[in-house]
Amino acid sequence: MAIEVRRVAGGFAAEVLGADPARDADFPDIHRAFLDHGVIVIRAQAQTPLAPEAQIAFSGRFGPLMGRRPSTPDKVLMPGHPEIILLSNRRVKGEKVGISDAGRYWHSDLCFEEKPNLGTVVHAVEIPPEGGDTLFADLEGAYAALPDDLKARIEGKRAAHTFRKHYLEVMAEGSDRPPLTPEQIDALAETYHPIARTHPETGRKTLFINPGHTTHVEGLGAAESRDLLDALYAVCLAPEHIYRHKWRVGDTVVWDNRRVMHNAEPYDMARYTRHMHRCSIHGDKPF
């Protein structure tokens, strides 16, 4: 079957039809679609889930994989496959096996690291019948849509990113995710990245900020920093820059964290189960 890349109606993301993540020969077409669209959806080719070994091999074609991070509790790593983080509310012997409330805010994965995540690969094993969609915002499209005066205001400026603030907030609110150790919390440093970065593979400009982890603009007072970030977010979160993904069992979704931010919507965890496998890919220092 020939591979077909079909843009999602009215959006920037695309479905990649006829491709199999486990088939090596399909990767060049998949990678091209990934760079062109920022978010790609590969629908299941069979009823069986993508094996962890196959997901790790597929993800590794994009670049080296990121295993344990200071922001990741050890117990949410897949046993025997620490390259995979479990996004799940399943319980084994009464214990949560994964992070059940991951990403319920606008963010870019691991943007707070010195060399942030290049991309993320998530495979859906079990999904709820309602809720649990993931929203994606196209920050390349948002940068292109900025008025000239706003582009001028961010030229050469950097913003601060940290996971610490969000982590402490969600734990204070009663999150049941496995806690970080004191050593891991201490390792959650603040990192500065360009507000407008250049995509290293496409050469196109994209914004690199998000409400979840970006705290302030370097060199600006608190009020001016907040006003500037709010003006940028108003463009980023305009409806024309948003893609809503409704998950199906067997979906493999790949997104480019250099270009998009995302937000996982909640679902009824008391009634339904959601279980997903996530791989993260090492990136480069933004410029």
d(CA 82, CA 68): 7
Q: What is the pLDDT of residue 150?
A: 98
Residue 286 forms part of a structural domain: no
| Domain around 180 | 4-281
CA distances 12 to 18, 154, 259, 283, Å, are 20, 24, 11, 22
pTM: 0.92
Residue 277 forms part of a structural domain: yes
Phi/psi for 265 (5° steps) reads: -80, 150
Q: What is the pLDDT of residue 235?
A: 99
Give yes or no for residue 1 having a pLDDT over 70: no
d(CA 149, CA 146): 8
Question: What pairing do the DSSP bridges indicate for beta strands 134-138 and 260-264?
Answer: antiparallel
pLDDT tens string 211-236: 999 999 999 999 999 999 999 999 99
d(CA 253, CA 125): 12
Residue 70 forms part of a structural domain: yes
Residue 287 forms part of a structural domain: no
Residue 48 forms part of a structural domain: yes
Query: For the chain, how many structural domains are there in total?
Result: 1
Give yes or no for residue 161 having a pLDDT over 70: yes
Residue 139 forms part of a structural domain: yes
In terms of Cα–Cα distance, which of 44, 42, 48, 2 is closest to 25?
2
Residue 174 forms part of a structural domain: yes
Residue 77 forms part of a structural domain: yes
CATH of the domain at 252: 3.60.130.10
Q: Between these two residues, 163 and 129, which has the higher pLDDT value? A: 129
**Quick one: pLDDT band at residue 3, thresholds 50, 70, 90?**
very high
pLDDT tens string 72-124: 778 899 999 999 999 999 998 888 889 888 889 999 999 999 999 999 999 99
Give yes or no for residue 47 having a pLDDT over 70: no
